[in-house]
A and B are shown apart, each in its own frame.
Chain A
Amino acid sequence: MLENVSLALQGVWSHKLRSFLTMLGIIIGIAAIITIVSTIKGTNEQIKQNLIGQGTNVVTVQLTQDGYEYDMSWSDPPQGVTPLTEERRSELEKLDGVEEVSLYYQRQWSDNVYYGNTNFSGSVYGVDSHYFSVNDYTVNYGRGFIDSDFTQHRKVALVDSNTARSLFTGENPVGCTIEMQGEPFTVVGVVSKNGGSGPVINSLQDYWMYAGNGSNSIFIPGETWSVIYRYDEPQKVAVRAKSTDAMTYAGDNVAKAINETNVTSDKVKYQADDLLKQASDLQNLTSSANSQLIWIAAISLVVGGIGVMNIMLVSVTERTREIGLKIAIGAQQSRIRWQFLTEAAVLTSLGGLLGVGCGIGLAYMLSHVMGTPVAISGSACLIAVVFSMVIGIVFGLAPAVKASKLNPIEALRHE
């Protein structure tokens, strides 16, 4: 076997130009596929880092119906779900893997929120005293919420630094009054997330909303939520897990506990947002577009394979006398077949290797020029080489069979 391979390599080397031209189709096809796969993988890893690389270890547990978030913006609070109490909250904190729990309300897309004549677009949160600690916010200036804000149902608000820039255009927002659903709220402070200005990304919607531009958030005390929105609304739950690995576990624990005590409905359940699943959802979105390109590149592999078949047929004709002699001195048909199959496979595997090299180079070049992220997948490279070997075997089969079926008498007489 090894001898066959080294003989085949000698054959390839002795026809350098011809071998290279034959391999070109395979090289181009494999290079294209490796480039595409590397770019897809790079994008996917970037998404994953963006989604769960925030370092807060926070899982959102929220109401879902048929697998989708139950959005209070569009619907009334669901039947059979009791809002959570502070007592219940501290019980949830004792669950396995859970460090801290916050209950909050949220409107993803606010309406009827103004400062002067400027319309605010962003999210509005009704938070408890744990929210900023769970999600790792600090007060930049002004003050945060104090106990009396909650107990006395004060109409006070905090804005994040993005909102401070966009809504108050340069003014100091502290002390200003914003209008929410017709009610005046006094801004008492500006908050921002620690560890970078990135928003809390807990869901796919968040990602699309925040991707690229910063978040716009306004926070009011949860106790005041009923003033502008509903009074009997079930909360969302932000769970800070003890570690990144415990996120899914902690989220599931909390969701299960809430469903046991506060939910009687069959249709609507609390569910933890699985960040890893979200990451893979996003990855699927970006991958599906690109994977079509792989099929196009695969066509060039077929074309390359036909080229290999063609050159192998030529090679069989050229070497008719050699084949005739080998059969005459006792080579079995299977050996002749293997010889040509090995040659075809060595040729295309070599093409595959060169293609992988070109593809990696191309991916880095592309990333340098266009800024696309790159991650080389070892398994993809391996599969590419193996696949090109398979192409060689498939398209080399017909020439190899032809060679092995030659009549030695005629083959020896061949000029």
Chain B
Amino acid sequence: MILEMHDICKDYPMGKTVTRVLKNVNLTVNEGDYLAIMGPSGSGKTTLMNIIGCLDVPTSGSYSLGGRDITACSAKELATVRNKEIGFVFQSFHLLPKLTALENVALPLLYGGMKKAQRLELARQALETVGLADRIDHRPDQLSGGQCQRVAIARAIVGKPKLLLADEPTGALDSASGAQVMELFQQLHEDSGATIIMITHDAGIARHAQMTRTIRDGILSGGVEV
């Protein structure tokens, strides 16, 4: 078991009242799972993703990732968890515009304290995996949207994290590039047994996953195997 959540609640103050965005969420993810979490906007799916990604902490409940109790971690430890255990893929790529594809991919390894030569070698391998070996010296503005997202995926997998976390990974792409990206996820899941959690509002995208769960008004429904 890689990820285990029990009775996760998240409250946000809204003016004078407090809004409960997540209501007693329970979630278990095993190694090698490919899970899609679906929900309309305002359902709390982004908040859930932020908590899974250790960018936010729950108000109550327990969360363990790779056997580690996340709710007991300090900010410094959370940064290490994000760096080592989680690979993020964002809707809008979030590549650094002044760095080349290779440098962008190597960035998480820098924060992990790895030597430069090794960093660049691993980054090169990751870019090969996503099929961009010939684009390593291009900057983001010299790449198409689909290529940018593949660089971002390379950045997410370069540190061999336990969990790949994708937030609307095709949201900013045309359907052809989107399909390529989904194919890449599929390949990562099948070839290297990556554990993937994907957040989306698009049922067509969610269908690529092994299983789907739906979140609505802060309540996560039971799993549906595909």
Contacts and interface: CB of A to CB of B under 8 A. Distances in A.
B212 interface: no
B96 interface: yes
A331 B111 contact: yes
A332 B98 contact: no
B55 interface: yes
Give me the 4 closest cross-chain CB pairs, A-B, nearest first: A330-B83, A325-B94, A330-B82, A330-B111
Which of under 10, 10 to 19, 20 to 34, or 35 or more describes the interface residues of B? 20 to 34
Given A327-B79, A330-B84, 11 more contacts: A3-B116, A322-B96, A325-B94, A330-B81, A330-B83, A331-B111, A332-B76, A333-B75, A333-B76, A335-B111, A412-B90
Interface in B102-130: 107-108, 110-112, 116
Residue of B79, B80, B81, B96 with most chain A CB atoms under a 10 A cut-off: B79
A126 B56 CA distance: 95
A335 B108 CA distance: 12
B155 interface: yes
Given A10-B98, A325-B96, A412-B94, A332 B53 contact: no
Contacts of A326: 107, 111
A337 interface: no
A329 B108 contact: yes
Interface in A7-46: 10, 14
Interface in B39-61: 50, 53, 55-56
Interface of A is mostly: helix
Contacts of B82: 328-330
B88 interface: yes
Interface of B: 50, 53, 55-56, 75-76, 79-84, 88, 90, 94, 96, 98, 107-108, 110-112, 116, 155
Interface residues of A, number: 19
A408 interface: yes
B135 to A, nearest CB: 20
Contacts of B76: 332-333
Contacts of B80: 330, 332
A321 interface: yes
Nearest to A14: B98
A332 B111 contact: yes
A299 interface: no
A321 B140 CA distance: 15
Contacts of A329: 82-83, 88, 107-108, 111, 155
Contact of A331 (B55, B79, B81): B79
Nearest to A335: B111
A327 B81 CA distance: 11
A325 B97 CA distance: 12
Contacts of B55: 328, 408-409
A137 to B, nearest CB: 75
Nearest to B112: A330
Contacts of A322: 96
Contacts of B111: 326, 329-332, 335
A306 B112 CA distance: 34
A332 B77 CA distance: 9
A330 B79 contact: yes
A14 B84 CA distance: 32
26 contacts: A3-B110, A3-B116, A10-B98, A321-B94, A322-B96, A325-B94, A326-B111, A328-B55, A328-B82, A328-B88, A328-B94, A329-B88, A329-B108, A329-B111, A329-B155, A330-B79, A330-B80, A330-B83, A330-B84, A330-B112, A331-B79, A332-B76, A332-B79, A332-B111, A333-B79, A412-B94
